[in-house]
Structure 1
């Protein structure tokens, strides 16, 4: 899987979307748009959230699937919650 860039490779600042293109008719929309909050997460964090949803929020089931302990998975979720709060507050 190719990682979607969210930070500038030169200065590490957050990237913004500047152009969207329709693959069907090639219409282009050009502007300056912020990335949605969930896209600003690392790929691994996005995958963790997806698995959390697909497991109906069962950390016990996720721990079993990942071969990790429940506290490890719980800590990962807590860290992710904190990161999302910081992103929401613009930190």
Structure 2
């Protein structure tokens, strides 16, 4: 099992920043302070929802069938994720 990238501090639960990247091939290291991409700031459940949305070609009707939920429930979940991404984007322009 591949370890999951932590996105919250285990001590205070605040968001983590990326401070270093390393090339496995040549061992080059890049340091700085970078925000995580929006997708990685979402919960695993939200990430899975977006992946399923993509794999169903954006068909909320098909997603509702696959998830065993009503169309309005799936639509509301998508709207919630959209609002969360808008909020993240406004906090990290």
Q: How far has the Cα of 1:15 moved from its partner?
A: 0.5
Superposed displacement of residue 2, structure 1: 4.0
Q: 2:67 matched to 1:66?
A: yes
Q: What TM-score, normalized by structure 2, do the two folds share? A: 0.87
Aligned to 1:65, what secondary structure does the other structure show? Answer: helix
**How far off its partner does 1:3 sit?**
3.3
1:21-36 residue pairs with structure 2 within 5 A?
21-36=22-37
- For structure 2, which runs of at least 5 residues remain unmatched after alignment? none
Q: Which moved more, 1:2-11 or 1:15-24?
A: 2-11
Deviations 1:52-72 (A, max 9, x none): 112111000011111211111
Within 5 Å, give how 1:7-86 maps onto structure 2.
7-86=8-87
* Aligned-pair Cα RMSD in Å: 1.6
- Contiguous gaps of at least 5 residues in structure 1: none
Hey, what's the Cα distance between the residues in 1 that align with 2:82 and 2:12? 26
Normalised to the residue count of structure 1, the TM-score between the two structures is 0.88
Contact 1:59 1:74 in 2 (8 A): yes
Q: How many residues are matched?
A: 91
